[in-house]
Structure 1
Amino acid sequence: MKKFKFNTIYFLLIAFLLVLNACSNQSGDSKEPKSNTETSDTVVFNIGYQSIPNVEILTKSLGLIEEKLKEMNVEVKWHHFDTGIDVNMAVAAGSIDAGLVGTPMAASGISQDLSYKVVWIYDVLGDNEALVVKENSGIKSLEDLEGKDIAVTFGSTPHYMLLNALKLNNIDENSVTLLDMQPQDIFAAWEGDLIDGGYVWQPVLGNMANRGGNVILTSGDLANDGLITAEVCVVNTDFIEKHPDIVEKYIEAFHNGVEFFRSSPEEAYQIVADELEISVEDASETMDQLIWLNAKEQASEKYLGGDMADVLKDTADFLVNQKSITSAPDLEAFKKAIDPQFVNAIAQ
């Protein structure tokens, strides 16, 4: 009798645990999204952005993307990133559908077969990225960098430009101590007198220059020597195939952002300054240093309609030489990774 009672209690306990586990699993499943970009009725569009005073921030602040997509049952979610490396990792992980990267990171991503396409150019870089050094560092030119500590974000456009600048001036990069830091860490190291200089972008660049810094080289200077860098928009290939109408509206919003800046620059300066919590003077200085391109200009042979593939290929080859990536595909792979259909449609 005791054995019967024991078995009965045992089996009732097992049954209770099984039911409890089933309820727990059902509760957990209900919290999981059906996919990275879709719910039952709404398409979730995950966008990665960076705090750069360009058309991406202006368009975000104006709410132009949400306005374009409001009739399409799309939920826009913004995700902040500090660098293009982080954006590439997020795209690879499937946590975002689109984002901003510099041309070095785009070249790296394409070389590593990340599933995305380049669909828009946020800006062509000019004097908004620069090498700034301490006034008391004794650095007056690139030749004076030997033995100095220079901070830069590895894999970024400043990193690419700095290494090219050293090469163009026949300076051994190993003679300079290059420190891999994020922009906010570069500024902290600058404030703590831990570095002699840094190649960085705005607004950190302006903050460093205003706190005892001298600019000795800009990306605009290097552009005059034929070295072009840009910040581009990459979109997950699968998302483009599933939602080309959403992507076209997304790109059209940036086109409208460029036109807004051209027609109302003073208002645009204030909007970006408020968004990034910087002065209007710093915002206007950076925005004026960039080359802003509308859809028609980007569809030309000089950019997405042709030459951008060569820029990315050259950049990838450089990254291979620097051992940042192991190999680079042929030019055809970069041509395939550029999708000008949206700028073409908007231009027409």
Structure 2
Amino acid sequence: MKRTILALPLALAAALALTACGSGAQEAKPAADGSPATLRIGYQLIPNGDLIVKDQKWLEAALPNTKIVWSKFDSGGDVNTAMIAGSLDIGLAGSSPVTRGLSAPLNIPYKVPWIFDVIGDNEALVARGGVTDVKGLAGKRIATPFSSTAHYSLLAALTEAGLSESGVKILDMEPPDIQAAWQRGDIDAAYVWTPNLAELQKNGGKTLVTSRELAQRGKLTADLAVVRGEFAQKYPKALQVWLQQQDRAVKLVRSDKATASAAIGRQLNLDPAEAARQLDQLVLLDAAEQRSADYLGTPSAPGKLAENLHNAAEFLKTQQKVDAVPELGVFQKGLATQELTDAFAGN
């Protein structure tokens, strides 16, 4: 799944304007069956199950009395801003933005009910101009969306290589802007995700390190779902339906890769073969795997994702990206394990 805190006021104003113009500043009355009148979803162009749900219109079919509003975001930082503004009910954000969202000064009242994917080779640091390793980036211009999983991984890669943040010039750019800057020759390297990553790799980008490799060395990142706490409490059945459709998408990937790839390809404007290639770069988890100890866990035993987010907060504190590191319990409470369990009761 990303903006700096300093950029928050401007982005927040934009999100508030979006709320007023798009979804409505006040929540519409529930439908007669108690389902929400509107479900506002923030998605990103990442080749995972969320795009399958969107493409197949499963939510629209499963919640016929609810208007499903899909809004595209370029980063998790912008999703955080929209959540603060109250203009989203469910969104996709990387583990780094979610870590910041659950930490001070943001303290966003949301929970994580689902892991869209564990980030692998689809997010990487690429460079050109003869740079062959991370150490070779000293003094270079590196673009990444600030506060994103890519930013977190970039800082981890630099630290691992013995480079300080001040030893390079890091530029805050959204993925489409990174691709444009690369084409103009304005940057030397970038840490970003597909589909923009694939374009950089096609145009002279040498991969220096991937998020899969960093995860193997203890810096795991993931794309997470966040649900507004008030929405989850008020509309538990709608959230259960949403979770069931996400699980359905993961199972489609495993049972019918061609159909799943075609759906993702339509959403990303890619041919199915390329969509399948990008899909293979991610690790997708079904509901049973989500409830395991390695990930979200259960209400009585929160999973290791909470520890991962806590570790990320400790790292971000050293980089002065969060004010303080919350207790582990804050991240454990931030996992919507009861909601996930309820959605698949009996399965």
Q: Where does the alignment leave 5 or more consecutive residues of structure 1 unmatched? A: 1-30
CA distance in structure 2 between the partners assigned to 1:146 and 1:69 by the alignment: 52
Aligned to 1:38: 29
**Any idea what SS the aligned residue of 2:38 has?**
strand
> Do the aligned partners of 1:59 and 1:257 also contact (CA within 8 Å) in 2?
yes
Deviation (angstroms), 1:224: 1.3
Amino acid at match of 1:332: G
CA distance in structure 1 between the partners assigned to 2:28 and 2:47 by the alignment: 27
In terms of mean alpha carbon deviation, does 316-325 or 227-236 score higher? 316-325
Amino acid at match of 1:143: K
Pair 1:99 & 2:91 matched: yes
Which one has the largest radius of gyration? Answer: 1
Two-structure CA RMSD over aligned residues (Å)? 1.7
CA distance in structure 1 between the partners assigned to 2:272 and 2:31 by the alignment: 43
Aligned to 1:169: 161
Amino acid at match of 2:325: A
Amino acid at match of 2:45: S
Deviation (angstroms), 1:37: 4.9
Deviation (angstroms), 1:147: 1.2
Q: 2:43 aligns with which of 37, 40, 49?
A: 49
CA deviations 1:195-222 (Å, max 9, x no partner) are: 1111100000001111122112100111
Aligned to 2:179: 187
Aligned to 2:316: 319
Q: 1:205 aligns with which of 190, 197, 202?
A: 197
CA distance in structure 2 between the partners assigned to 1:298 and 1:344 by the alignment: 10
- TM-score normalised by the chain length of structure 2: 0.87
> Do the aligned partners of 1:203 and 1:278 also contact (CA within 8 Å) in 2?
no
Pair 1:223 & 2:218 matched: no
Pair 1:303 & 2:295 matched: yes
Identity of aligned residues (%): 38
User: Could you say if the C-alpha distance between residues 288 and 34 of structure 1 is closer, same or farther in structure 2, counting changes exceeding 3 Å?
Assistant: closer
Pair 1:66 & 2:60 matched: yes
Q: 1:249 aligns with which of 220, 238, 241?
A: 241
CA distance in structure 1 between the partners assigned to 2:97 and 2:28 by the alignment: 23
Q: 1:84 aligns with which of 76, 91, 94?
A: 76
Deviation (angstroms), 1:280: 2.6
CA distance in structure 1 between the partners assigned to 2:98 and 2:218 by the alignment: 19
**Any idea what SS the aligned residue of 1:99 has?**
strand
CA deviations 1:191-249 (Å, max 9, x no partner) are: 00111111100000001111122112100111111211000100010011100000000
Deviation (angstroms), 1:40: 6.8
> Do the aligned partners of 1:64 and 1:253 also contact (CA within 8 Å) in 2?
yes
**Any idea what SS the aligned residue of 2:280 has?**
helix
In the alignment of these two chains, the number of paired residues is: 314
User: Could you say if the C-alpha distance between residues 250 and 170 of structure 1 is closer, same or farther in structure 2, counting changes exceeding 3 Å?
Assistant: same
Aligned to 2:335: 338
- TM-score normalised by the chain length of structure 1: 0.87
